[in-house]
């Protein structure tokens, strides 16, 4: 009983602190600058809720105060138990509901809906976006709600679990669903926020999106169809190539199998537009190959690379390794005993492959296809670099926002179309492929040897794999060498000028001055990635813990919604974050916070995946034993679950760190002059034609990430040797679990 | 470790459903302080659910649970004064044996040094003094089991819960460890609730046995009463094997009933028997096989299997096929041998339900 009262007391204390000790509204120059302390508590902008209510005439905050007081009254006049639980839950819901309602109803200019004015009369003063105080009070209402449920015995009375679920649901609602919803609303709104469907109607019928002219005549098709066509081609191509690679790596005596597997690391460490950049250096108008061919055979340098063909090649290079990684598992998953059975039934190798092995791989192939499809749809970097005037949906969205004439409604419409495509593919993958997996996953008691490939097929896959590998190596070689060449095509002499321009350091007055142009964005990137990585891992693993270990109403929905958020292309996230967080009640554009939030919620599903996989290997009775040994859920997580999950934690940390560095699609919308990210900066360099510096910066990023991943792999490898005897259960120490990359969507 | 406070346990009309599946229907049960009570039943009977509700790992859908007189129905597991030995032992693989045993003490707020000291005491109680710095993986199965017991006992809970604690041990070790557990329980006098599906284990360790079947209590009582006077054919068959055959009660004589089994008449202790058709539970070793003599119940040996210290027979009779265990291994009856069936006085019971 004591502990229950203490919980309520702490929650109420939190609410009180939020209402009295913190500025209620957003501080324009940034909360963490702490300059508001000087004018606290009586500055009009910096005042806490209490002062805002009493002195500034924001009378509606009295409801918040009343709800907190009511909760305090319940705490002191009602004994802990189910009845009090119900009251506290109701107060928590009321508090959260009221905060959301007032946030939307009252903005800078006063009532945002006329019904408010009709009911309460006009307001003398509006309100800016919520600040630290409002957020803390909101949290305290959320905890009040959780305490109430715990006292009613929900989730076996486990406050920590309830609060964690409530918090996660709230976070996902705010950072995933609210933005997407705002985007839908934004599509039918004018710039001033009034309902104006004409922009939406005009755009959704725009022939530039939907035209099918290319089928009937020579003209171009609409951007939607072009994007779809590109995605289908990329998915088909990368699946075939990925399968060829998987077959070579598992079913032939190819001498460099280990090396082939290294390819799978490439997409993780490569910023998405870098391939496109390298292709320009090879095949662009002044590219190495182009000039070589024109010098030798007099072939006129063409612009064929800038368009769907170029994007397609770049995407094939980018996504084949992903498909390869997915399909290795599929090919290895085919039970050898099936193939041996086929051979004992008088089938030769060819018949065995075409009639048994390949059909068994079909669901896996479909999966790889859908992943390739979603990846291609969501890809932003390559089309941006190579698209030219032949854009795809993701780049068109970008240009609708930053282009000459901003048209948010058009951006929203394009984003909705893109979202429709990717979500359809995601749903197909989830619903249609679920339970259609023939592969034997257990790997137990299934001895036997895979038969060799039929001769013709072996020749075929080698003929695909070897040239493609060489091509990939050349492309990556280009990236590494490119930074040292003066101007490709014109002046092929070697130079350090690009690196000097990007990363020069000089000593001024005895201190180091970061004079290179790249340092600014480089350090920002590192800082944001360092902040985002632990948060991503924490949120992801906590979610995994809840999904695996707790049964609660709507758990499947919860998991599904989380995974679905992963199928939202980065461009769509970017545009929706702008639309949602540009004005009250939550205003975050131009801050580091919005970048961190974006990374956390975009990369979290990977942490969830890894955590679910790792946690399923840990006996659930360990947690229960800890609970019966008087440890709270929180202590259980800290002392039992986390230590056993260490490999998964490190993997999630590294993955989210690296992803925060390489991602561009959402970031490009969210960076600001103060917080510029490396990728966005490089894209800017490309747009200015500064290919040398861009490629130098990119190779630097790749090297940094290689060092990080290699260091991490060494650390994990050592740990495994040392602890092998200690932990039998949570094996599967894989630095970057295959699952995570399967789910990776740029 | 002498100051163990043993508490009573009361279930009051407890019901537990998982979705549309009802795991426990209206369970009421009282466990006296200081006794070892076994929850016995086949898998899926609800015995583990009952134990987990007592531990606080599940909360009942309806009803109340009291431990030591205090209503704990809504309390989470870590706030209940019970501790549990898990089937898999659930020793934390990343902690040493001592850290495992001290874990619960530290969670309860003891100082680290104090917790260690008590943990050492607990380890010597189960005969593992000096093993504290090992990791669980470096111990044998039996030792791990004892660590799990020590870890639970050092908390001096009002009730110790044991969830199939022996099922991961081999048969020989199982006998020894169950004796150890029973000794410890009687020496320290704590209340224990013991879940198992093994009737022999239940008979060996319990003060009382609660047999569960499909989410309900099928019968409850001291081991001997359950074995000798099963209330239903389920109990008869579950508490050691039994041939359940139809019979007719033809007369009551004092404390005994006269039953007719085909052409055989037999006297059975049966307080509650009523004249009329009934069922008879006959233990396999309560059947005497004699050379066929034409009178009484006749049978034909169908199968015979020599098992070292006894011979098993399947004998076809007019009341059905009987399963017989005969200790006389010298007289091996071949299949198709005709035999006469006789019954011992012990090991035969009338089933009323």
Chain A touched by B87 (CB under 8 Å): yes
Closest-CA residue of chain B to A638: B107
- How far apart are alpha carbons B271 and B70 in whole angstroms? 39
Q: Which residues of B touch A631 (CB under 8 A)?
A: 78, 103-104, 107
| B88 lies in the same domain as B113 | yes
* Same domain membership, residue B183 and residue B91: yes
Rounded CA-CA distance B313/B304 in Å is 5
Considering the domain architecture, whether residues B217 and B289 belong to the same structural domain is answered as no
Mean pLDDT score of chain A: 82
Helix (H, G, I), strand (E, B) or coil at B210: strand
Quick check: B82 and A628 CB within 8 A?
Answer: yes
* Same domain? B73 vs B49: yes
Structure tokens at A136: 């803390």
Determine the residue of chain B that is closest to A620 in CA distance. Answer: B90
pLDDT at residue A482 tops 90: no
Say if the Cβ atoms of A153 and B73 lie within 8 Å.
yes
Is pLDDT above 70 for B28? yes
> Do B37 and B157 lie in a common domain?
yes
**What distance in Å separates the CA atoms of residue A210 and residue A723, rounded to the nearest whole number?**
59
| Average pLDDT value for residue range A536-561 | 85
**Selected residue of B90, B141, B149, B151 to mutate for chain A interface (largest A Cβ count, 10 A):** B90
Both B86 and B212 in a single domain?
yes
A-chain CB neighbours of B75 within 8 Å are 157
Contact between chains at B94 and A3 (C-beta distance less than 8 A): no
Residues of A in contact with B55 (CB under 8 A): 624, 628
CA A267 vs CA A270, A469, B59: distances in Å: 5, 14, 48
| Percent share of chain A, pLDDT over 90 | 13
Q: Does the beta-carbon distance from B74 to A153 stay under 8 Å?
A: yes
Residues B110 and B192 in one domain: yes
B218-242 confidence digits (pLDDT tens)? 999 999 988 888 888 889 888 888 8
Residue of A nearest to B59 (CA): A156
- B72/B215 same-domain check: yes
Confidence of residue B150 (pLDDT cuts 50, 70, 90): very high
Residues B17 and B74 in one domain: yes
- Any B CB within 8 A of A631 CB: yes
Say if residue A352's pLDDT is above 70.
yes
Minimum-distance CB partner of A627 among B77, B108, B155: B77
CA distances, A346 to each of A339, A341, A342, A352 (Å): 11, 9, 7, 9
Is residue A303 a contact partner of residue A224, using CB atoms and an 8 Å limit? no
Q: Is residue B118 in a domain? A: yes
Tell me which residue range forms the domain holding B258: 241-351
Strands B36-40 and B208-213: parallel
Return the CATH number at B204. Answer: 3.40.50.300
Same domain, B179 and B323: no
Nearest chain A Cα to B160, which residue? A628
- First-to-last alpha carbon distance for chain A, in angstroms, is 50
Mutate which: B71, B72, B73, B78, vs A, most A CBs within 10 A: B78
pLDDT of residue B207: 94
- Checking if the pLDDT of A97 tops 90, the result is yes
Closest by Cβ to B155, choosing from A629, A726, A729: A629
| DSSP-derived 3-state class of residue B317 | strand
B304 touches chain A (CB under 8 A): no
Highest mean pLDDT among A367-376, A706-715, B270-279: A367-376
**The pLDDT value given to residue B353:** 60
Whether the per-residue pLDDT at B176 is higher than 60: the answer is yes
pLDDT of B37 above 90: yes
User: pLDDT tens digits for B126-138?
Assistant: 889 999 999 888 8
B98: closest CA of chain A, how far (Å): 14
Q: Which of A328-332, A466-470, B159-163, B269-273 has the lowest mean pLDDT?
A: B269-273
Q: What is the largest CA-CA distance in chain B?
A: 80
A151-160 burial code (b ≥16 CB/10 A, e <16) = bbbbbbbbbb
Per-residue confidence (pLDDT) for residue A368, from 0 to 100: 87
Q: How far apart are CA A10 and CA A147, in angstroms?
A: 11
Q: Would you call B155 and A630 a contact, using CB atoms and an 8 Å cutoff?
A: yes
- What pLDDT, in 10s, does the model give residues A124-175? 788 888 888 999 999 999 999 999 998 888 887 888 889 999 999 999 889 9
Cβ–Cβ contact B119 with A under 8 A = no
Quick one: which of A610, A703, A615 has its CA closest to A658? A703
| Residues A554-574: tens digit of each pLDDT | 888 888 887 777 788 888 888
B305 in contact with A, Cβ within 8 Å: no
What domains lie within chain A, and their CATH numbers? 2-152 (no CATH), 224-437+447-471 (1.10.3720.10)
| Selection from A524, A525, A505 nearest residue A515 by Cα | A505
- Single out the residue in B229, B255, B270 at which a domain terminates: B229
A724 close to B (CB below 8 A):
no
**pLDDT value, residue A723:** 36
Residue in B closest to A727 by C-alpha: B93
Q: A80-89, A467-476, A512-521: which range is least confident on average? A: A512-521
Is B329 a member of any domain?
yes
Among B229, B249, B282, give the residue marking a domain's end.
B229
Peptide bond just before B14 cis, omega within 30 deg: no
d(CA A61, CA A46): 15
Query: In the prediction, which pLDDT does A339 show?
Result: 79
> What is the spatial distance between Cα A600 and Cα A656, in angstroms, rounded to a whole number?
8
For residue B193, tell me if it sits in a domain: yes
Residue B3: inside a domain, yes or no? no
- The predicted-structure confidence for A364-389, as pLDDT tens digits, reads as follows 888 889 888 988 988 888 888 887 66
Residue A190 has which token pair? 């004018």
Residue A290 has pLDDT above 50, yes or no: yes
- Determine which of A109-123, A230-244, B19-33 has the lowest per-residue pLDDT on average: A109-123
pTM listed for this prediction: 0.78
Instruction: Give mean pLDDT, residues A724-734.
Output: 34
Which residues face A107 on adjacent strands? A110
The pLDDT-based confidence of A737 (bands split at 50, 70, 90) is: very low
Percent of chain B with pLDDT over 70: 98
Q: What is the pLDDT of residue B192?
A: 94
Domains identified in chain B, total number: 2
CATH code of the domain in which B285 resides: 2.40.50.140
Name the minimum distance, in Å, from the CA of B21 to any CA of chain A.
15
Is the model's pLDDT at A429 over the cut of 80?
Answer: no
The residue among A394 and A267 whose pLDDT is bigger is A394
Highest averaged pLDDT of the listed ranges A205-209, B32-36, B346-350: B32-36
B92 to chain A: which residues are within 8 Å by CB?
622, 625-626, 639-640
C-alpha to C-alpha distances, B312 to B290, B302, B306, nearest whole angstrom: 15, 11, 6
State the residue for tokens 């390949």.
A358
Most confident segment among A479-483, A630-634, B58-62, B207-211: B207-211
Nearest-angstrom CA–CA distance, B127 and B146: 8
DSSP annotation of A431: I
Compare all CA atoms of chain B with the CA of A642 and give the residue at the minimum distance.
B94
Q: Is residue B236 part of a domain?
A: no
Q: What is the pLDDT of residue A193?
A: 62
Q: Are strands A110-111 and A106-107 parallel, antiparallel or unpaired?
A: antiparallel
pLDDT above 70 as % of chain A: 90
Q: What is the pLDDT of residues B38-67, one digit of tens each?
A: 999 998 899 999 999 999 888 899 999 999
Per DSSP, B215 falls in state T
Q: Would you say residue B1 lies in a domain?
A: no
Residues of B in contact with A630 (CB under 8 A): 78-79, 104, 107-108, 155
Q: Is the pLDDT of residue A448 over 70?
A: no
Nearest CA in chain A to B19: A553
Residues of B whose CB is below 8 A from A82: 74
- Residue A82 has a CB neighbour count (10 Å cut-off) of 13
Whether B88 contacts chain A with CB within 8 A: yes
Rounded mean pLDDT of B341-352? Answer: 85
Residue pair B163/B84 in contact (Cβ under 8 Å)? The answer is: yes
In a domain, B190, yes or no: yes
CA distance A632 to chain B (A): 6
**Predicted local distance difference test score (pLDDT) of residue A736:** 38
Contact B90 A621 (CB under 8 A): yes
Q: Is the dihedral of CA A548, A554, A560, A563 positive or negative?
A: negative
Per-residue pLDDT of B289-304, as tens digits, reads 888 877 778 889 999 9
Biggest CA-to-CA distance, chain A: 93
CB proximity B327 to A under 8 Å: no
> Which of A429-433, A499-503, B251-255 has the lowest average pLDDT?
A429-433
Helix (H) or strand (E) holding B313: strand B311-317
Strand ranges (E), A433-526: 485-487, 491-494, 506-508, 511-513
Cis peptide before A585 (omega within 30 of 0): yes
User: What's the gap in Å between the CA of A4 and the closest CA on chain B?
Assistant: 10
Same domain, B223 and B248: no
What is the three-state SS of A29-94? Answer: CCHHHCHHHHHCCCCCCCCEHHHHHHCCCCCCHHHHHHHHHHHHHHHHHCCCCHHHHHHHHHHHHH
SS3 string of B138-205? HCCHHHHHHHHHHHHHCCCCCEEEEECCCCCCCHHHHHHHHHHHHHHHHHHCCEEEEEECCHHHHHHH
How is residue A473 written in tokens? 């190596």
Q: Which of A163, A556, A628, A639 to mutate to test the interface with B (most CBs of B within 10 A)?
A: A628
Beta strands B82-85 and B36-40 are unpaired
If you write DSSP's letter for every residue of A233-253 in order, what string do you get? Answer: HHHHHHHHHHHHHHHHHHHS-
Chain B residues touching A151 at Cβ < 8 A: 74
Which of B182, B208, B229 is the last residue before a domain boundary? B229
Q: How far is A619 from chain B (nearest CA, A)?
A: 8
Query: How many Cα atoms within 13 Å fall on the side-chain side of residue B222?
Result: 3
Co-location of B220 and B254 in the same domain: no
**CA–CA min distance B202, chain A (Å):** 23
Indicate whether B147 belongs to any domain.
yes
Report the pLDDT value the prediction gives residue A440, as an integer from 0 to 100.
Answer: 47
Q: What is the mean pLDDT of residues A412-424?
A: 88
Contacts of B19 in chain A (CB under 8 A): none
pLDDT at B272: 67
- Position B12 scores a pLDDT of 94
- pLDDT tens string A588-597: 888 888 999 9
């Amino acid at each position: 009983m004591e502990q229950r009262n203490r919980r309520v007391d702490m929650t109420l204390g939190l609410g009180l602190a939020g209402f009295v000790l913190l500025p209620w509204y957003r501080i324009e120059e940034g909360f963490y600058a702490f300059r508001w302390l000087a004018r606290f508590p009586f500055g009009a902008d910096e005042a806490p809720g209490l002062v805002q209510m009493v002195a500034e005439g924001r009378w509606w905050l009295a409801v918040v105060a009343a709800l907190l007081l009511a909760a305090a009254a319940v705490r002191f006049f009602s004994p802990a138990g189910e009845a009090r639980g119900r009251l506290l839950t109701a107060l928590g819901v009321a508090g959260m509901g009221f905060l959301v309602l007032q946030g939307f109803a009252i903005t800078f200019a006063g009532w945002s809906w006329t019904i408010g004015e009709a009911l309460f009369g006009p307001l003398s003063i509006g309100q800016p976006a919520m600040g630290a105080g409002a957020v803390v009070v909101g949290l305290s209402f959320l905890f009040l709600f959780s305490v109430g449920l715990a006292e009613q015995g929900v989730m076996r009375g486990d406050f920590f679990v309830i609060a964690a679920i409530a918090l996660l649901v709230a976070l996902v609602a705010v950072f995933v669903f609210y933005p997407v919803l705002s985007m839908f609303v934004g599509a039918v709104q004018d710039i001033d926020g009034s309902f104006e469907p004409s922009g939406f109607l005009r755009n959704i019928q725009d022939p530039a999106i939907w035209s099918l002219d290319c089928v009937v005549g020579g003209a171009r098709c609409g951007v939607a169809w072009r994007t779809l066509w590109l995605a289908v081609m990329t998915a088909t191509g990368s699946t075939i190539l990925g399968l060829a690679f998987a077959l070579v790596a598992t079913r032939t005596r190819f001498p460099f199998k280990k090396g082939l597997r290294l390819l799978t690391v490439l997409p993780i460490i490569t910023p998405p537009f870098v391939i496109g950049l390298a292709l320009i250096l090879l095949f662009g108008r002044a590219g190495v190959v182009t000039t070589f061919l024109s010098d030798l055979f007099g072939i006129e340098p063409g612009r064929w690379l800038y368009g769907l063909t170029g994007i397609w090649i770049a995407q094939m290079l980018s996504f084949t390794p992903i498909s390869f990684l997915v399909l290795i598992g599929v090919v290895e998953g085919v039970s050898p005993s099936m193939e041996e059975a086929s051979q004992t039934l008088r089938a030769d190798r060819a018949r065995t492959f075409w009639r048994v092995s390949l059909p068994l791989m079909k669901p896996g192939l479909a999966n790889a296809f859908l992943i390739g499809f979603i990846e291609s749809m969501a890809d932003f970097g390559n089309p941006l670099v190579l698209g030219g005037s032949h854009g795809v949906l993701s780049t068109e969205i970008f240009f609708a926002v930053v282009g000459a004439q901003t048209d948010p409604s058009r951006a929203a419409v394009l984003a909705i179309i893109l979202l429709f495509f990717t979500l359809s593919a995601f749903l197909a993958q989830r619903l249609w492929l679920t339970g259609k997996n023939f592969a034997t996953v257990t790997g137990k008691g299934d001895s036997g040897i895979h038969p060799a490939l039929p001769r013709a097929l072996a020749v075929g896959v080698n003929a695909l794999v070897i040239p493609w590998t060489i091509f990939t190596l050349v492309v990556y070689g280009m990236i590494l060498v490119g930074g040292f060449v003066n101007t490709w095509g014109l002046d092929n002499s070697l130079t350090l000028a690009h690196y000097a321009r990007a990363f020069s350091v000089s000593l001024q007055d005895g201190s180091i001055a970061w004079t290179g142009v790249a340092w600014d964005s480089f350090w920002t990137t590192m800082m944001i990635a360092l902040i985002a990585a632990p948060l991503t891992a924490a949120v992801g693993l906590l979610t995994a813990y809840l999904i695996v270990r707790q049964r609660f109403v709507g758990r499947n929905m919860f998991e599904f919604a989380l995974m679905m958020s992963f199928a939202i292309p980065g461009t769509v996230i970017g545009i929706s974050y702008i639309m949602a967080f540009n004005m009250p009640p939550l205003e975050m554009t131009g801050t580091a916070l919005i970048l961190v939030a974006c990374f956390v919620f975009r990369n979290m599903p990977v942490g969830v995946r890894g955590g679910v996989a790792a946690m399923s290997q840990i006996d659930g009775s360990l947690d229960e034993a800890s609970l019966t040994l008087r440890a709270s859920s929180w202590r259980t997580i800290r002392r039992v679950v986390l230590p056993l999950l260490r490999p998964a934690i490190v993997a999630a940390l590294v993955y989210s760190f690296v992803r925060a560095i390489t991602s561009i699609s959402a970031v490009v919308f969210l960076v600001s002059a103060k917080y510029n990210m490396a990728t966005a900066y490089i894209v800017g360099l490309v747009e200015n034609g500064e290919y040398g510096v861009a490629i130098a910066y990119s190779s630097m990023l790749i090297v940094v990430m290689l060092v990080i991943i290699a260091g991490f792999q060494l650390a994990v490898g050592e740990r495994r040797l040392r602890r092998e005897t200690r932990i039998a259960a949570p094996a599967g120490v894989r630095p970057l679990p295959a699952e995570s990359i399967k789910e990776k969507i740029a | 470790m002498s100051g163990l406070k043993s508490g009573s346990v009361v279930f009051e009309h407890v019901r537990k459903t998982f979705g549309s599946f009802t795991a426990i229907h209206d369970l009421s049960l009282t466990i006296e302080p200081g006794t070892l009570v076994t929850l016995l039943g086949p898998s899926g009977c609800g015995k583990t659910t009952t134990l987990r509700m007592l531990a606080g790992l599940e909360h009942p859908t309806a009803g109340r649970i009291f431990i030591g007189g205090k209503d704990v129905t809504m309390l989470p597991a870590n706030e209940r004064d019970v501790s549990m030995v898990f089937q898999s032992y659930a020793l934390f693989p990343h902690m040493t044996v001592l850290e495992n045993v001290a874990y619960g003490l530290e969670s309860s707020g003891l100082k680290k040094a104090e917790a260690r000291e008590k943990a050492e005491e607990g380890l010597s109680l189960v005969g593992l003094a000096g093993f504290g710095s090992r990791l669980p993986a470096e111990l044998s199965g039996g030792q791990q089991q004892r660590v799990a017991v020590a870890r639970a006992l050092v908390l001096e809970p009002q009730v110790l819960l044991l969830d199939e604690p022996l099922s991961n041990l081999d048969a020989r070790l199982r006998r020894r460890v169950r004796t150890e557990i029973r000794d410890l329980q009687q020496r320290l006098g704590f209340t224990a609730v013991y879940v198992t599906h093994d009737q022999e284990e239940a008979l060996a360790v319990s003060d009382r046995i609660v047999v569960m079947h499909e989410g309900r209590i099928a019968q409850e009582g001291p081991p001997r009463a359950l074995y000798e006077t099963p209330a239903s054919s389920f109990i008869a068959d579950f508490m050691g094997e039994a041939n359940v055959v139809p019979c007719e009660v033809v007369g009551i004589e004092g404390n005994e009933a006269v039953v007719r089994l085909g052409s055989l008449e037999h006297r059975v202790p049966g307080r509650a028997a009523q004249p009329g058709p009934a069922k008879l539970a006959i233990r396999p070793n309560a059947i005497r096989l004699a050379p066929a003599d034409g009178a009484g119940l006749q049978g034909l040996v169908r199968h015979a299997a020599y098992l070292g210290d006894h011979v098993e027979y399947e004998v076809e009779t007019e009341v059905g096929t009987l399963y017989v265990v005969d200790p006389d291994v010298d007289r091996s009856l071949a299949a198709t041998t005709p035999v006469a069936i006789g019954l011992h006085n012990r090991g035969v019971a009338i089933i009323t339900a």
